[in-house]
Amino acid sequence: MLNKNSFIFVTGHRGLVGSSLLRRLKFYGYKNIIVKTKKELDLKNQNKVSNFFKKNKIDAVINAAGKVGGILANNRYKADFIYNNMSIQNNIIHSSFENNIKDLIFLGSSCIYPRDCKQPIKEKYLLTGTLEKTNEPYAIAKIAGIKMCESYNFQYKTNYKCLMPCNLYGPNDNYDLKTSHFFPALIIKALRAKKNKKNKLTLWGSGRPKRELMYVDDLADACIYFLIRKTKDSLINIGTGHDKSILEYAKFILKKIDFKCKIILDKSKPDGVQRKIIDNSIALSYGWKPKINLDEGFELTLKSYFSKSNK
C-alpha cells in the first residue's frame, strides 16, 4: 500500500504537468520523489530505462513524459510525435511490470477520441471512429499506451490507470508559438499585442471551435488521488465539464490583461476538431473533482509567467 514514504518516480518533471506533480506531491507530504533529467536518463533508451528501474527502489510511477504540442507542431513533426511517445511509454510501462511495480499512472489526452464523436466524450467512445488528422500520430501513440496498460492489468493483475485530461494550462507552460497549445499561444499573443500597442490580435481559424480547459494542478491532484486507489476502470477522463470557443477565450484574456484591440480571424489556418468536451462522470463517481476555476487559474498562470520573465 502506498504511503507518504513510498518512492514515486515522476517522469517529465520539468514540463507543465510534471512540475505541477512535484509541487502537489510535496504539498501532500510525499517525501521520496524520484526525478531524472533527459541528460541523466534517456527514456527512449530501453536498456538505460530497464537498468535504472532495476537499480532503484520504486514503488509507483507517474508518467508525465512525452512529446506534446499544438496543431502546428503535430502537423510538422508527425514522426517525432509517434516515435518519441511510443518509445517512452513502452519502456516505462514494461520496466514497471518487470520490477513488480503495481501502481502506475499513464497520462494521455482527450485527442485519443474520434474526431466526430458524440459530446461530451465518454471513455467508451475510444476506437469508435476516425481520429483528427492533425494530431493522429500522437493520438495513436497514446491509444497504444492505454491498450498496453489494459493488457498488463488483464494478464498480470497490475493496477495501471490511464488518465485522459482535457486541455491544460498553468505555471511552466510552453509559450513557444511554434509548438505551444492554443491557450498559452493566445496568452503570449495578447501580452505581446499589449506590450507593442498593436491594434489587432490574429487568431488561427474561425474562432468557433470549443475547448475545455483545466488548471494543471487539478490534473496533478487527480494523478495522486487515483494513484493510491483501486479502481475497476483503467481509462478515466479528467476534466471540468465546461468549455468555451477559442474566440471567447481570446476575449477573456484581453479583458483580464485590460487591453482592447480588434480580433482578426485567419480562416486560411485549420480549426482542428470543432468541439472537444469530455464526460468526467467516472472520475466524479470515485470522489475526485476539479477545484480551480478559470479566473483563479489564469491569475496564478499570469503571476508565474511574469515572475519567470522578470528573472
- Catalytically annotated residue among 28, 30, 113, 138: 138
Average pLDDT over residues 206-232: 96
Catalytic: 152? no
Extents of the domains making up the chain = 7-170+213-242+275-292
Strand blocks (E) in the chain: 7-11, 32-34, 60-63, 103-107, 159-165, 167-169, 200-204, 210-215, 235-238, 243-245, 262-266, 275-276
Measured distance between the N- and C-terminal CA atoms of the chain, rounded to whole angstroms: 42
Residues 6+ apart with CB under 8 A from 124: none
Cell of 92: 516505462
Give 117-136 pLDDT, tens digit per residue. 999 999 999 999 999 888 89
Query: Could you tell me the fold of the domain covering 7-170+213-242+275-292?
Result: Rossmann fold (3.40.50)
Give 34-91 pLDDT, tens digit per residue. 999 999 999 999 999 999 999 999 999 999 999 877 777 777 879 999 999 999 999 9
Rounded to 5 degrees, what angle do the CA atoms 146, 18, 121 make?
Answer: 40
